[in-house]
Structure 1
Amino acid sequence: MTRRSERRAGGAVAQAPGIRPHVVAVVVTEPAAAVPLVTLEAPGAEIAVVCLRAGAKEGRAALDRALAQAAERGCRVLGAPRILGGEGGDSVAALLDELREINPERLHTLDPDPVHVSFDETGGTPVYDEPAGHADIAADALAAARALQSETGEPLYVDCHRAKADVRLGAASCLRHPAPVNWLVAGFDGRLTAFLPTAAGVVRWFQDLPDGTAWRGPEPVEGPGLLPGLTVVRDPHGFPHLFALRRTRRGDGGVDVEVVHAVQYRTGQPLTPWNSLGGPNSGDWRKGREVGFPTAAFDSAGNLFVFVRNFGHSISYRCQSVDGVWTAWQHLGGTRVADDLVAVTTPHGGVEVYARARDTEAVVRWYPAQGGAWTEDRTPPFAARPGTMSPAPEPGSIHFRDLRTNAPSAWRPGAQAPCPLGDAEGSGPVAAASGVEMDGWAYSLLIRSGSGGACAVGAYPEGRPGTGVWWQDLAERSYGIPAAAVSRTGRLAVATRAPGQGLLVAHRREQAGSLAFGDWQPARG
């Protein structure tokens, strides 16, 4: 059952001073490669395309059509595609010059570390079905974007798009490095921190005082070479742990891609250094660069499990015990999986991991059986859209969008069918926060990108999603996934990256039995 509020939450939207145009730069090898990236862009964006070379006539015509269609749906096209003039020379410097002139808030490019389609046993090298230049231009675009952000101090958000991703399934389904879901967290002292990945690594904003309206940020979290994705997980004590991929060039011309981990123990204070966890195929950089993006969860005892998709398209994991000792990478085997994993903590305190199958529409679950051996469960009765699975507030459960209908849903092990969470509006995963109190009852809050990209929140009695979700439009657009968190005093806040306005935060109003929010305010002092 779905219930929808006709009332918009909050009053008039507060306009942040100094709103900038929402400029999106698309950086690719040639015009044909820009078509799917332009197709994904939402209304309101100002689009500038930069190509390494002019490409074929057919590709230029296809891009012209895509740009015309973008203009029809409400985008502004900033002139004809910019051509760098072929290959050779310092393409990073040339791209940086273009980006300085464009001054984008977001950047779309290709995958710097694409997945292989076969393996040349004779030569011992992976085989790809796309030109090597696609990965090269993506790496150069990332380098130029990092340099621009370092110059300006303004966050520049980057999306790297997987080759041959189906744009009909939405932007989240096309990302090589997924955007974080639950990126707004309450620290041990009660203050909230927002973590977001950018071209120059992670940036954060944090409250000056618990439940206060003044924030500090954006502040860089040191970490050279971080790729533009992030996983944020709280441990049993409430400390946020950050997981990412770090990409560094080798002296022999290759690249190393490794899983890294950092922790924030005190709000506003420096995080721990990024600790390298390596990767399951780190012995061969050609294989190791394809490592999937990490997901993680803690069991009730405080042991940390980190999972990734490995070169062979199965799952590998490492575990850190409560005394800080890490195991080596271990291999789960079983069904070949896509780069789309979600780890959850179960009602019994253990850890399980879900993954989309690579060669079918199935979702597969791994759980530790008695004796500690991992068991594969191929029976979950649903198919999920790529990039939309996320942990649910209920232990052991997950959220996802149905592959065919796009409707958000929840599922827990043992259920005969998924539980619908509303209509098919919006895109991307659903974030969640638990412990929201109304009239003396505990509720779970859901937040998603809804109709037209607007933030929408919904709630249901904690542990009972089947009772129905009442969705409210919060009257502010979001790119990426909006987030929500409950402070230690029980106050609820929601946050979004608003086009041209940076990070905005709205707090729940102090009204008994109400789920109304105050005006959106910029996260600054």
Structure 2
Amino acid sequence: MARATRRRARRGETSREPLPGAGPQATRTAPVAIVVAGPADAVPLLHSEPAGSVIEVICLDGGGDAEYRAMEAAVTQAKRRGCSFPGEPFFLDAEAGSLTGQILDALHEIGPLRVRTLDPDPVHDDIDRERKLPIVNEPAARGQVARSALRAARRYQLEAGTPVFVDCRRAGADAELPAEACTRYPLPTRWLITGKDGRLSAYLPTAAGVVRWTEGPTEADGWRGPELLEGPELMPGLTVLRGPEGYAHLIGLSRTTRREGGVAVEVVCATQYQTGRPVGPWISIGNPNAASWQKAREVGFPAATFDAAGVLHLFVRNFGHSVSVRRQSPKGSLAGWETLRGMRTADEVAAFPAADGGVHMVARARDARAAVHWYRRDEASGWTENRRIPVSPYPGSLSAAPEAGLVRFRYAGSNEVCAWWPGAQAPIGLGGPDGVGPVAGVAGADIQGWGCTVLVRGGAGRVTAIGAHPDGRPDTGVWWSESGEPSVVPPAAAFDSRGRVVIATVGMDGRLRVARQQLGSSGLEFTQWDVH
């Protein structure tokens, strides 16, 4: 029996308690709302939910009998894995008025921490040669529902006052892939940043924009947040960098309606100069396909890094499925977009500095279990492409390593975590085949007087796993250990003002969790999780 979209709570209220200062309610698992066009669209999203999830489904319509039975079967499988469903699916009335309003009503009844939906801007399948415009064969209702879900989730977060994390599943993705392997707008891996004053800040993308948690002046003061930062309406992804000057740089995608019709999708960035203070203005970096809004809306999510001279190099997958790069000088001046015409790439790019001061970029191939490597030595050198690298990444696993000149990924054939550096004949396996998603970490950690690299990743059931190896010696092997509770975002790591490794996650209740290294212990040991 389908439910109506009536509300249990008035707008501005929610069944999920506000996170700061919340009582016992804050420790429970908050629901995930799956918002799709029809029952068949919900199936891959249901398959990728881990055990313990509390799931609510919102559909534009009920579809045919076969679609509904497929969704029922996926619900049954999810229940067997340990997921729970508080009620029957919501089915909306497309002719009753605002689709966004109906989804918003359902979100107020559900009180979700996460919203999962479809691709708002699916890429083209073909080209209209006469009109020179892209042809998108994805059903229009899917994009319509995704865009309405994003608007509703934003409004819900602003009214409820609690963070909502959004995942948009890329159109055309393999139905068996987990969410982390096919998200249109990826979450950052380096979202925990040490400011110039030594205090830590955590930055994560939500439906309403970037939220920030800020460490107090002393450890006893705890953390402040989550605080919604002012800025444009962003898509639910984020790239976070700590620049050579110690500032935090936030990079994302904005999507706005054009007065003359269509939409404008642009890369935007902002800088956090002082810990806990307002973030600087969001600046447009543009779009490599800006001449055509129909092409520009397909741009991939940006990746970026700094070279030794302090120049920011920003990379995006463009309309033609190659990579475009734009450089920004330390004084803020922008060079034009440069297209690296080579192997066709997927929406997955990792950028990282070279040990000699240059810049590397590795992108996963679009049509093969392979990757391409680009390298630029300095201002006087051009970009060099290398397609013959021994990198076969599982989707959604590429990340820049904490050491200069390395990239990490999960091997497509086994899901094992691997490290590779340009010039190496083969990657080095680091174990950890359980779990999904990228690997983060820090280099130079003090473990009993030895300099070590500490790694963090999502493990089985999204529980954070921690490992370590001597700096520069990943070949010695990594011993992984689980850290406790699951996280709704990839775990992050940074150093605090005392040089201790700090690991941060966000629990299934939406609250920030922080664990600190215990210096002087017999090995790599951390405190219990502090919940904020």
TM-score after normalising by structure 2: 0.93
Measure how far apart 1:503 and its partner are.
Answer: 1.2
1:113 & 1:501 partners in 2: Cα distance?
27
Q: Is the 8 A contact 1:171 1:428 kept in 2?
A: no
> 1:64 — aligned with what?
72
2:33 & 2:240 partners in 1: Cα distance?
27
> 1:8 — aligned with what?
none
Equivalent in 25, 42, 49 of residue 50 of structure 2: 42
Equivalent in 380, 384, 397 of residue 375 of structure 1: 384
> 1:352 — aligned with what?
360
Q: Is the 8 A contact 2:210 2:228 kept in 1?
A: yes
Measure how far apart 1:22 and its partner are.
Answer: 2.1
Equivalent in 398, 419, 427 of residue 428 of structure 2: 419
Q: Is the 8 A contact 1:16 1:521 kept in 2?
A: no
Equivalent in 460, 468, 476 of residue 469 of structure 2: 460
Equivalent in 460, 465, 477 of residue 451 of structure 1: 460
> 1:518 — aligned with what?
527
Q: Which runs of 5+ in 1 are unaligned?
A: 1-14
Q: Is the 8 A contact 2:359 2:377 kept in 1?
A: no
Q: Is the 8 A contact 1:369 1:375 kept in 2?
A: no
> 1:429 — aligned with what?
438
> 1:4 — aligned with what?
none
* Bigger shift: residues 461-470 or 18-27: 18-27
CA-to-partner distance for each residue in 1:268-293, whole Å, 9 max, x for gaps?
Answer: 00111111111001111100001110
Measure how far apart 1:132 and its partner are.
Answer: 1.3
2:55 & 2:291 partners in 1: Cα distance?
41
2:229 & 2:208 partners in 1: Cα distance?
9
Matched, 1:94 2:111: no
SS in 2 for 1:133: helix
SS in 2 for 1:119: strand
> 1:482 — aligned with what?
491
Mapping of 1:318-329 within 5 angstroms? 318-329=326-337
Mapping of 1:208-357 within 5 angstroms? 208-209=216-217, 211-212=219-220, 214-357=222-365
Q: Is the 8 A contact 2:322 2:345 kept in 1?
A: yes
Identity value in percent: 48
Q: Is the 8 A contact 1:508 1:515 kept in 2?
A: yes
TM-score after normalising by structure 1: 0.94
SS in 1 for 2:237: coil
Measure how far apart 1:501 and its partner are.
Answer: 4.5
1:322 & 1:205 partners in 2: Cα distance?
27
Mapping of 1:77-88 within 5 angstroms? 77-87=85-95
Equivalent in 168, 188, 213 of residue 160 of structure 1: 168
Q: Is the 8 A contact 1:186 1:485 kept in 2?
A: yes
Measure how far apart 1:488 and its partner are.
Answer: 3.6
Q: Which runs of 5+ in 2 are unaligned?
A: 1-21
1:184 & 1:457 partners in 2: Cα distance?
16
1:493 & 1:508 partners in 2: Cα distance?
6
SS in 2 for 1:78: coil
Measure how far apart 1:130 and its partner are.
Answer: 1.2
1:158 & 1:497 partners in 2: Cα distance?
14
* Bigger shift: residues 73-82 or 503-512: 503-512
SS in 2 for 1:364: strand
> 2:511 — aligned with what?
502
Measure how far apart 1:513 and its partner are.
Answer: 4.2
Measure how far apart 1:210 and its partner are.
Answer: 5.0
SS in 1 for 2:27: coil
1:28 & 1:260 partners in 2: Cα distance?
28
- Change beyond 3 A, Cα 1:212–1:266: farther
- Change beyond 3 A, Cα 1:164–1:16: farther
> 2:201 — aligned with what?
193
1:252 & 1:134 partners in 2: Cα distance?
24
Amino acid at match of 2:383: W
1:48 & 1:282 partners in 2: Cα distance?
38
Measure how far apart 1:424 and its partner are.
Answer: 0.7
Measure how far apart 1:211 and its partner are.
Answer: 4.5
2:175 & 2:458 partners in 1: Cα distance?
17
SS in 2 for 1:168: coil
- Change beyond 3 A, Cα 1:439–1:511: closer
> 2:12 — aligned with what?
none
1:353 & 1:16 partners in 2: Cα distance?
45
> 2:370 — aligned with what?
362
> 2:182 — aligned with what?
174
Measure how far apart 1:50 and its partner are.
Answer: 0.5
Mapping of 1:131-170 within 5 angstroms? 131-170=139-178
Amino acid at match of 1:463: G
Amino acid at match of 2:530: Q
2:497 & 2:29 partners in 1: Cα distance?
36
2:245 & 2:179 partners in 1: Cα distance?
34
- Change beyond 3 A, Cα 1:483–1:197: same
1:238 & 1:94 partners in 2: Cα distance?
44
Measure how far apart 1:20 and its partner are.
Answer: 3.6
1:115 & 1:97 partners in 2: Cα distance?
30
* Bigger shift: residues 136-145 or 83-92: 83-92
* Bigger shift: residues 25-34 or 366-375: 366-375
* Bigger shift: residues 223-232 or 80-89: 80-89
CA-to-partner distance for each residue in 1:59-86, whole Å, 9 max, x for gaps?
Answer: 1110000011101100001222111123
2:121 & 2:172 partners in 1: Cα distance?
14
1:283 & 1:164 partners in 2: Cα distance?
26
1:344 & 1:66 partners in 2: Cα distance?
40
Larger relative contact order, structure 1 or 2 (CA cutoff 8 Å, min sep 6):
1
- Change beyond 3 A, Cα 1:210–1:464: farther
1:248 & 1:20 partners in 2: Cα distance?
36
1:415 & 1:46 partners in 2: Cα distance?
44
1:138 & 1:20 partners in 2: Cα distance?
27
SS in 1 for 2:480: strand
Q: Is the 8 A contact 2:469 2:476 kept in 1?
A: yes
1:49 & 1:287 partners in 2: Cα distance?
32
CA-to-partner distance for each residue in 1:431-470, whole Å, 9 max, x for gaps?
Answer: 1112210122111110011122211110111111111112
- Change beyond 3 A, Cα 1:168–1:53: closer
1:62 & 1:223 partners in 2: Cα distance?
41
Amino acid at match of 1:303: V
> 1:27 — aligned with what?
35
Q: Is the 8 A contact 1:258 1:277 kept in 2?
A: yes
- Change beyond 3 A, Cα 1:212–1:234: farther
* Bigger shift: residues 507-516 or 477-486: 507-516
Matched, 1:203 2:211: yes
> 1:396 — aligned with what?
405
- Change beyond 3 A, Cα 1:178–1:219: same
2:216 & 2:376 partners in 1: Cα distance?
42
1:328 & 1:382 partners in 2: Cα distance?
30
SS in 2 for 1:45: coil
CA-to-partner distance for each residue in 1:19-65, whole Å, 9 max, x for gaps?
Answer: 24320100011111111111111111111110111111111110000
SS in 1 for 2:69: helix
2:316 & 2:95 partners in 1: Cα distance?
35
Amino acid at match of 2:109: E
Amino acid at match of 2:335: T
> 1:469 — aligned with what?
478
* Bigger shift: residues 88-97 or 225-234: 88-97
1:451 & 1:21 partners in 2: Cα distance?
17
